[in-house]
């Protein structure tokens, strides 16, 4: 079996390590991170060149199953991969970790888009923008606030907002360190995507502990019928032969 894992998440990395004994298996990374964490199996980097490029890759490499472990917000990649796999009758599953839900002590404002998130930030706020460096351009209009952007690779060039700075970090984070960070930087608001999963949850625990409001961007809608929720379930699907 020639398995292709679509990666870019901690779960994809866990899968590539758990399934590294599988002959012919490989992982694909978008090439967004300069120094990606080591994967357990051979990795290719960079986009495929759209749906046609992806289809050509599947054919030329003889890929027999695709496990899509991209981020829950990588909606274009997931929709496209599913469509192309269906076209070529290649078994496809998506590893989709469950979304987060607010508890009684949380103060969440759930919004459908980055543009809407900006509207809930009052003048003078100190915003922890924990949505990844790539999406910063979607938050135009945050110049009335101080913006802290956490990134894996600090980009060169000017900071994209009038006030604020980059914070360098790589998940997972722990709640204690996140709480200390919120206090040190006097964070008043958190903007984040409903990514789900344990690795990113610490910032929500910090917000809860400190009573910081969370502007939560809801997940993109997508089909859930071929989704698996855990790394263990995804491994089992592969080990049991990748049913269609
Ligand atoms: P996207 O909008 O759904 O996809 C944009 C393009 O990136 C795709 O059309 C594809 O290019 C390329 N791509 C995405 N994932 C790829 C992969 N695993 N291997 C090769 N090419 C890939 O995706 P995105 O939201 O920009 O995310 C890009 C990557 O960052 C993904 O791997 C995702 O898992 C990771 N990531 C995303 C987020 C997020 O918040 N969106 C957070 C953490 C990590 P071609 O059309 O040229 O094939």
pLDDT, tens digit, for every residue of 143-184?
Answer: 999 999 999 889 998 999 999 999 998 888 999 999 999 999
Report the CATH number at residue 8. Answer: 3.40.50.720
Rounded distance from Cα 70 to ligand 1 centre (Å): 7
Predicted TM-score (pTM) of this structure: 0.93
pLDDT, tens digit, for every residue of 5-38?
Answer: 999 999 999 999 999 999 999 999 999 888 888 8
Which of the listed residues 77, 149, 197 should we mutate to test ligand 1's pocket, taking the one with most ligand atoms within 8 A of CB? 77
pLDDT, tens digit, for every residue of 41-69?
Answer: 999 999 999 999 999 999 999 999 999 99
Ligand 1 cavity residues, CB under 6 Å = 6-9, 28-30, 32, 47-50, 53-54, 70-71, 73-77, 132, 193
Which residue segment(s) compose the domain that 62 sits in? 3-98+221-239
Rounded distance from Cα 144 to ligand 1 centre (Å): 30
Sheet holding 92-95, edge to edge: 43-45, 26-29, 3-6, 65-68, 92-95, 227-228
pLDDT, tens digit, for every residue of 85-119?
Answer: 999 999 999 999 999 999 999 999 999 999 999 99
pLDDT, tens digit, for every residue of 189-235?
Answer: 999 999 999 888 999 999 999 999 999 999 998 888 999 999 999 99
What pLDDT sits at residue 175?
Answer: 96
Could you tell me if 177 and 190 lie in one domain?
yes
Which of 72-76, 84-88, 132-136 is the least confident region?
A: 132-136
In the predicted structure, residue 132 carries a pLDDT above the cut 90 = no
What pLDDT sits at residue 33?
Answer: 84
Could you tell me if 225 and 165 lie in one domain?
no
Ligand 1: which atom is nearest the Cα of residue 195? Answer: 40
Could you tell me if 88 and 164 lie in one domain?
no
15, part of any domain = yes
94, part of any domain = yes
Could you tell me if 210 and 139 lie in one domain?
yes
Cβ–Cβ < 8 Å for 111, 216: yes
Structural domains of the chain, count: 2
Could you tell me if 42 and 21 lie in one domain?
yes
Q: Which residues contact 104 (CB under 8 A, 6 or more apart)?
A: none
């Amino acid at each position: 079996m020639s398995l292709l894992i679509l990666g870019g998440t901690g779960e994809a990395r866990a899968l590539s390590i758990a399934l590294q004994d599988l002959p012919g298996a490989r992982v694909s990374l978008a090439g967004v991170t300069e120094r990606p964490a080591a994967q357990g199996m051979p990795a290719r980097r960079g986009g495929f060149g759209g749906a046609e490029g992806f289809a050509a890759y599947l054919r030329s490499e003889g890929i027999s199953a695709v496990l899509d472990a991209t981020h829950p917000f990588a909606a274009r990649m997931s929709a496209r991969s599913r469509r192309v796999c269906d076209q070529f009758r290649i078994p496809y599953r998506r590893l989709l970790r469950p979304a987060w839900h607010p508890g009684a002590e949380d103060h969440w404002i759930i919004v459908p888009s980055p543009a809407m998130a900006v509207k809930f930030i009052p003048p003078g706020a100190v915003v922890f923008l924990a949505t990844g460096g790539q999406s910063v351009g979607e938050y135009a209009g945050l110049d009335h606030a101080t913006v802290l952007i956490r990134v894996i690779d600090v980009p060169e060039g000017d900071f994209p907002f009038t006030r604020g700075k980059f914070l360098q970090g790589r998940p997972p984070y722990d709640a204690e360190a996140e709480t200390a960070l919120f206090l040190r930087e006097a964070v008043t608001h958190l903007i984040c995507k409903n990514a789900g999963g344990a690795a990113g949850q610490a910032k929500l625990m910090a917000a809860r502990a400190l009573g910081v409001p969370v502007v939560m961007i809801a997940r993109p809608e997508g089909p859930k019928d071929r989704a698996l929720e855990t790394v263990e379930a995804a491994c089992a699907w592969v080990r049991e032969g990748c049913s269609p």
